Structure 1
Amino acid sequence: MERSPAAGGPAEHDAGGGHRFGSVEVLAVLLVLLVVFRNPLASLISDARLQTWTTVFVSVLVQAVPFLVFGVVLSAVIAVFVPRSFWARALPRHPALAVPAAGLAGVVLPGCECGSVPIAGSLIRRGVTPAAALAFLLAAPAINPIVLTATVVAFPGQPMMAVARGVASLVVAVAMGWLWLRLGRTEWIKLPHRPDLEGLSRGNAFWAAVRHDLMHAGGFLVVGAAAAATINVVVPERWLSSLAGNAALSVLALAILAVLLSICSEADAFVAASLSQFSLTSRLVFLVVGPMVDLKLISMQAGVFGRRFAVRFAPATLVAAIVVGTGVGAVLL
């Protein structure tokens, strides 16, 4: 019986018996085109604005990809090697108590937002209540030891900045988890179909999960990085200076800037420290918003959880991060 094209495989054929292009062939064609048109492409990239775009795009990817890979690998480990019964024992049975427990779990897991998205998706697949998985998704990139240490280093002589960041981020994560318990709906989360891992050896199942999640989340990461690079080129820097003098507008400006720049949480403290014309509170909001709501993260959330989820969860998280960050900054800073 002839194999249908939909079945997939290393050597797929169309109905007429001809070979159909796969990912390897597409990559080969792109490489050939890059070689043939290298001189015109080089002249295009010589433009200053395009150089800036390329630098930002590559920087976002270089910062994010290692942590995305870490998150994907950990997600596959959870899917293949961790039994479902573990999560029932590790987290409190009551969903309202499971939310803060999952948020605090972010303290012990170094990583950034790019890695936390696939991990949260895997947790939901393994039976963890979505509210707890979402609290972990928001808390892990902002309160883990690497990020807090980077914040201390970036703000020498101001240790309360790291304390304020940890407190505000955990409060937002737990609040959003509880909000999901109250208002969230199961049909808003649509996890992408992952290849059936049943019947495979643990090794094969692990690599199948890694390949699937890396290709799926990686594509959305590229889209988000491109959007962030475009914003960096389009938004004039003088606009930021004019907003720094107004307390309310400076908070909103840095919150929006955090969304647009899409900086990895391991590096954003150094960017915030460089924005010395802004108040500490507005810079705290920048640090709280960034790991929870930015262009690449929204794009990845849409890819992992579905667009219906992203269009509701991201705006609500942004509002909560601004309100809580401003309040914590007013008290602690």
Structure 2
Amino acid sequence: MTTISVAAGRRIKMLGPGIALLGAVTVLSPYLWHSTWRDTGFSFGYVPFHLWCWLPFVVLAFAAGRLGRVAGGLFAAGLMAGTVATVELTQALDDGSERLGLALPGLLSLAVIGAWGLKAHPRGNGRISRQLVIAVVALLALVIIGGRIGELGEAARAQTFLVIGTSIALEAMPFVLLGAAVSAAIEVFVPSRWFERIARLPLPLQVPAVALSGVAMPVCECGSVPVARRLIMRGVHPAAGIAFMLAAPVINPIVLFSTAVAYSGRGATEMVLGRLGLGLVLAMVAGALIASRGGGAALAAHARKGRGASEHDHSQGRLRGFIDHLMSDLLLMGKYIVLGAAIAAALQTIVPQSVFTGVLTSPFVGALLMITLAFFLSLCSEADAFVAVSFIQFPPGPQLAFLVAGPVFDTKLVLLYGSAFGRAFVVKLALVIVPVVVAGSMLFQAVI
């Protein structure tokens, strides 16, 4: 066994130099197969260009052993093809082709760095590593520089897509940052014993009281799950804990303020009041129904089974816990905001407007479609209003369905709910959310 490990270690150590040597051969090979290079011959004036073309291979050589043999082999093949493309494009008479050829080694280097960072990032500890930050920056730079060099923004439709998508993301990000900071502060600094007094209230008062406390507790949908679980574990009735979990990410002040900003000049007052009212109704109805007939005891028993997967370890200090929670929320929510903004922009620039006319804009079908869209987009509640208002093809009722259903039931929350309260809870919650939100959004559409 030891002999095999030593041999494997030697092969890994030779992998990096081997890739670097392969790159040198590939970079210099055009003197054999390219007619222009054969006629011109080698010159020291070309050394900077040769080194530039060799750069992606050097980057891959340093990443060797972290990407794996399959990924490393695919990247090596891609770098060789990219070197050939670089040589051909830089010899072209077209300015655009020459510009793309000169930038290609840099773009390939960014792709390798991004892949290495994603692979090297330690998973499962809930923290943001340096490798992951490098990967995100490299991939973002790759997209921006590649789009700029390819003159993606020159096309009218692509330019519209970029303007709409970036405006939605930029408007939403301050609220994502604010929500993540407040959520992190509550998770780390607010003692859970503050909520224990609520457990002494009678159940008819406890459920609405805990649900309304979400107005003063600006936690995101991910942060509300561990808070609700702790409430139940400390003696709060499961119906009240579920009501808080569903109400807090919909009716908290940051969410309502962001909704007012997003719908400024487009019926902001009606949308804020509609979101507040329907969010409270949904939370109290879902809490009462799911926790009835013995369901509360099952929820409480499941909540006490070990630590929830969504809780953070603050044993290394509150400040470190705050920073870890803040960065984790920012990374988690930020990527969904960008994805949501891209999809919203695509619906306005790519999909023909005629698709959304007629039956799709009816309150009932529109609400079902927007609930489904909110489920898959998995946006954070602090910024989803900026995406919802961009769906101008849908009337206000379906947009309200998007704003109420999204923060309480989406792809990431299904995993959190299942971990904290069990799979049966997820099914029951879905059976309550859809009819209540659809009915509420249709009533809202009829009233306004």
Give the TM-score taking structure 1 as reference length: 0.66
Match of 2:192 among 84, 88, 92: 84
Match of 2:159 among 46, 51, 59: 51
The residue that corresponds to 2:139 in the other structure is: 30
Which amino acid is the alignment partner of residue 278 of structure 2? A
Worse-matched range after superposition: 211-220 or 309-318: 309-318
CA distance in structure 1 between the partners assigned to 2:356 and 2:373 by the alignment:
13
Please report how far the alpha carbon of residue 323 of structure 1 lies from its aligned counterpart in structure 2 after TM superposition: 0.8
CA distance in structure 2 between the partners assigned to 1:213 and 1:149 by the alignment:
22
Distance 1:153 1:317, change over 3 A: same
Give the root-mean-square deviation of aligned CA atoms: 4.6
Worse-matched range after superposition: 131-140 or 79-88: 131-140
Deviations 1:160-218 (CA, angstroms, capped at 9, x unpaired): 776555433322232223233246875699954555212x2222222122223333343
Matches within 5 A, 1:122-141: 122-124=226-228, 126-128=230-232, 129-140=241-252
Matches within 5 A, 1:2-41: 20=66, 21=116, 22-27=131-136, 29-30=138-139, 33=142, 37=146, 39-41=148-150
Which amino acid is the alignment partner of residue 231 of structure 2? G
Match of 2:356 among 218, 240, 243: 240
Unmatched 5+ stretches in structure 2: 1-10, 14-61, 67-115, 117-130, 233-240
Deviations 1:24-49 (CA, angstroms, capped at 9, x unpaired): 44346436745874554323x43344
Q: Give the SS at the match of 1:291.
A: helix
Kindly indicate whether the alpha-carbon contact (under 8 Å) linking 1:76 and 1:209 is maintained by their aligned counterparts in 2.
Answer: yes
Q: Give the SS at the match of 1:154.
A: coil
CA distance in structure 1 between the partners assigned to 2:156 and 2:188 by the alignment:
47
Worse-matched range after superposition: 24-33 or 314-323: 24-33
Deviations 1:242-268 (CA, angstroms, capped at 9, x unpaired): 348x8xx34422553576487946557
Match of 1:180 among 290, 311, 320: 290
Q: Which has the larger radius of gyration?
A: 2
Distance 1:267 1:16, change over 3 A: closer
Kindly indicate whether the alpha-carbon contact (under 8 Å) linking 2:367 and 2:402 is maintained by their aligned counterparts in 1.
Answer: no
CA distance in structure 2 between the partners assigned to 1:214 and 1:49 by the alignment:
30
Kindly indicate whether the alpha-carbon contact (under 8 Å) linking 1:131 and 1:177 is maintained by their aligned counterparts in 2.
Answer: yes
Distance 1:160 1:133, change over 3 A: closer
Match of 2:325 among 209, 228, 231: 209
CA distance in structure 1 between the partners assigned to 2:183 and 2:388 by the alignment:
27
Matches within 5 A, 1:95-174: 97-108=205-216, 116-124=220-228, 126-128=230-232, 129-140=241-252, 144=256, 147=259, 154-155=266-267, 163-164=273-274, 166-174=276-284
Kindly indicate whether the alpha-carbon contact (under 8 Å) linking 2:207 and 2:284 is maintained by their aligned counterparts in 1.
Answer: yes
The residue that corresponds to 1:197 in the other structure is: 314
Kindly indicate whether the alpha-carbon contact (under 8 Å) linking 1:146 and 1:266 is maintained by their aligned counterparts in 2.
Answer: yes
Q: Give the SS at the match of 1:196.
A: coil
CA distance in structure 1 between the partners assigned to 2:261 and 2:186 by the alignment:
27
More helix by share: 2
The residue that corresponds to 1:252 in the other structure is: 365
CA distance in structure 2 between the partners assigned to 1:24 and 1:271 by the alignment:
30
Worse-matched range after superposition: 50-59 or 24-33: 24-33
Which of 1 and 2 has higher RCO (CA within 8 Å, sep 6+)? 1
Deviations 1:32-72 (CA, angstroms, capped at 9, x unpaired): 745874554323x4334433443443344223332222222
CA distance in structure 2 between the partners assigned to 1:16 and 1:289 by the alignment:
54
Matches within 5 A, 1:286-305: 286-294=398-406, 298-302=410-414, 304-305=416-417
The residue that corresponds to 1:42 in the other structure is: 151
Deviations 1:282-301 (CA, angstroms, capped at 9, x unpaired): 62x23431212349972443
Matches within 5 A, 1:313-332: 313=429, 316-327=432-443, 330=446, 332=447
Which amino acid is the alignment partner of residue 172 of structure 1? L
Give the TM-score taking structure 2 as reference length: 0.52
Report % sequence identity.
22
Deviations 1:267-317 (CA, angstroms, capped at 9, x unpaired): 579668x77xx8xxx62x234312123499724434654696777645742
Unmatched 5+ stretches in structure 1: 1-14
State yes or no: 1:72 paired with 2:216: no
Matches within 5 A, 1:268-279: none
